[in-house]
Structure 1
């Protein structure tokens, strides 16, 4: 497989296939850009069907982190890693520590954090072998509350664009995925009086949202088609695709999942159908904002919450520029990120590219 021919390669600086036979580790570490600083992004553990599927996911997520970090104004580049395996049955201390040694070998070019299938406790094990890890208990910890808080404010900005007010009371919001982010998001939405529609493969998590917030449950494979105002994907990506778009009844899509669009062309199709889209890497940046504060040694809870809340303003500015130019919201976000990246490249090497 020639990865340079893949659509998502996008001139990545580094793509590493990491193996450790003793622990069973097979991982992909992708560094898209270190122009703004050391590449930082989560470590996902997932049972990919093929190595190519894992590489493509790492490439897409890595590039998304570059755009996410630069749009949030963080002194970090974009990177991501994926460990191939079932997080429930294949994860071990030896595997995580072996992964830590692979990260350490990059000398700070990539900083790992938690993601789907990993936790702050897992990052502590990775951290036994490398200094280049974030999201540890005692530092920023679990970034999920910050991610959810930023998404909540992005949803309020989306509601304002739809209705003229950021008040969520009475709005029907369909939350797909009830992991840590989805659960925290439901708390914020319910507290403001939103009517929750929820789905998850874990029936216990669904039952908890029904008990706590009076949520309505739907099948996990059908929530994208729920009769709602806003559809909030908070699980894995690519739920907005050629099959699902004709079935989407929501007026807007605003959620925490990465890479919600299966391919970039889906943004134009959403616009054609009059469905407003809040670009995923903009709205879900709260978690990396908290991780960045840990990396730079400037962690302040109140400041991170304020910066995460400001995501709503960024989302609103993207909506305004899209309306003024006729471009899709996804294209506007990409153009803004690329403009910022080009300006940094022109300014010269980032001070943050030194080992963290």
Structure 2
């Protein structure tokens, strides 16, 4: 219920140290021994629907990988909505594709299967939650991740569900929060037998999420700090292609704006595309050759072709908000050196 009165908030004396999340120091189990190795998987699956950009690249000789997240159908674990465990489960797949982690054909974990078809160069792409996972993965500096194409992605979950101490919701979903999203995406419960075994643990973990998100005060806390990828941008080694809608009321543009400002001085190649749409993909836009842009980008990043993608593509491409199907190129966005205009009742002055 979002129709509740606002409560007066009491000031506190918390410091940065008080709200900084600490890393999990639980010991990692020893690696499981490998008895045999195969190149043949024991299971196959068919995706329910295609992402047309991925199909575009399949036809051009790239491999496309769809990976299940922690707590999703046929996986292990539970959903955690953006925390480090979710990031760890994401980069494990990148490590396997890069030849740095062992994968097994079944839960028996006896027969290993390498990504023998991979050239060990990995890109991640996707919109919304998928782009968010790509951003999170990049901030770990995981080896093998050459680039991410983050579209409409969250860079800080606090900036998605909170606003300066106020409890807000992504556009179109009043009352939604991290616990609701965890429950919504916890697709392991679609298998009754599997869910029965972990129901007690899941309900306890879900209650912890509800408590941690703290809808009463809306304060920034260790809970939200653990879900803030911006504090780890110094680890990024992958090149970045960031795409966002300036009218996105789901993942608001400040998520990409804050990320862009945070990585401005990093020694990686970074590009930004800002369109006038909402929470959408732009690979079907007729006014910009987005698929060609990404083809140029990935051919350079994953295949090592010296096609000058890093210089041919403008640093920032912005769709005009007045003239239909018009785009502009610029060197930067929201830079400290940008000119600003100050208005008052008497006159305006360009600073």
Q: Which has the higher contact order (CA 8 A, sep 6+)?
A: 1
Select the structure of larger CA radius of gyration.
2
TM-score (norm 2): 0.28
TM-score (norm 1): 0.28
